[in-house]
Amino acid sequence: MIHDTDWVSEKWQNVETRYRVRSMIYDYQSNFQHMQLVDTYQYGKMLLLDGIVQTTERDEFVYHEMMVHVPMLSHHDPKKILIIGGGDGGILREVLRYKSIEKATIVEIDPLVIEFCKEYLPDISKGAFDDDRTDLIIADGAVFVSESREKFDVIIIDSTDPVGPARILFSEKFYLDIQGIMAPESIMVRQTGSTNMQPDEQKEAFELLKGIFRHTAFYVYTVPTYIGGLFSAVFCSDSIDPSEISYDELGRKFNRTSIETLYYNPGIHVGAFHVPGFLKEGLK
């Protein structure tokens, strides 16, 4: 007999996605957000924050590979990386696969997310928090970027949606502070939500970012457990135009890294920037 308690769900206005669970591992209100860690039949262990799916064992590779390899392979030689949020450790894991990395700074506001994920989702971070190149800082990302005097080659914002502690990470001041700590040749990428459930998020981000950075371009990829599936990110730089990077150049650089991936490849990289017409229309 399957009971109602056997399901966890993500609710959006008129849409609800339900996942059958084997067990609720953790259900906890931290100082910043409601954390649920569940073991689902379909996607393995799953982290939800404030009722929103953040990552699952089964499909985390899509998001983490597309948020890391697109900017890393678009840059000629990235050495200093900044991650804002990212408490599950998936972005950090993928970044540290590049041998050229000297330092990866990760600024996470909620230490409990890291603690829970290291204990219950160890295959996502794969020991990345203990790597010598990792500089873990427990702080509000907005405060960190406003006070930092360092310059970074690639900045990846892996935050929750623009509610609660992450709201400030979608503000103009935050983006201007980010621009202030970007090296002369550098890239910033951030997730901008579901293309069919959060069109306003893409539009807001585009309006703000195209007024700040010389190059601002969206790219898309599909994450099965992110509401609506087709997900978006924005690529921003004052020095690198993603449309000028060829498939062949990406192929050569990717092969040189000998990094094996499950979703990312140079063809998907180039294709991801050829966003569907409805998304372009929505940005007008």
Q: Which residues participate in catalysis according to the annotation?
A: 158
By the rule CB under 6 A, 109 interacts with ligand SAM: yes
By the rule CB under 6 A, 98 interacts with ligand SAM: no
By the rule CB under 6 A, 82 interacts with ligand SAM: no
C-alpha R_g of the chain:
18
Name residue 147's amino acid. E
Shortest distance in whole angstroms from residue 162 CB to ligand SAM:
10
Shortest distance in whole angstroms from residue 246 CB to ligand SAM:
29
Q: Which of 68, 82, 104, 142 touches ligand SAM by CB under 6 A?
A: 142
Question: Which region, judged by CB under 6 A, interacts with ligand SAM, from 1-9, 159-167, 211-219, 266-274?
Answer: 159-167
What sign results for the dihedral spanned by CA atoms 263, 75, 250, 208? positive
By the rule CB under 6 A, 95 interacts with ligand SAM: no
Name residues whose C-beta falls within 8 Å of residue 137's C-beta, 6 or more positions apart in sequence. Answer: 105, 106, 107, 108, 144
Beta bridge pairs of residue 46: 38, 56
Query: What is d(CA 146, CA 180) in angstroms, rounded to the nearest whole number?
Result: 9
Q: Which is nearer to ligand SAM, 153 or 158 (CB)?
A: 158
Q: What is the distance between the terminal CA atoms of the chain, rounded to a whole angstrom? A: 50
By the rule CB under 6 A, 65 interacts with ligand SAM: no
170-199 footprint of ligand SAM as x/- string (CB under 6 A): ---------------------x--------
The torsion of the CA quartet 103, 108, 113, 114, rounded to 10 degrees, works out to 20
Shortest distance in whole angstroms from residue 284 CB to ligand SAM:
25
**Taking the mean position of all CA atoms in its chain, how far away is CA 253?**
22
Interface positions with ligand SAM (CB under 6 A)? 32, 49, 54-55, 63, 84-88, 107-110, 113, 140-142, 158-160, 165-166, 168-169, 191
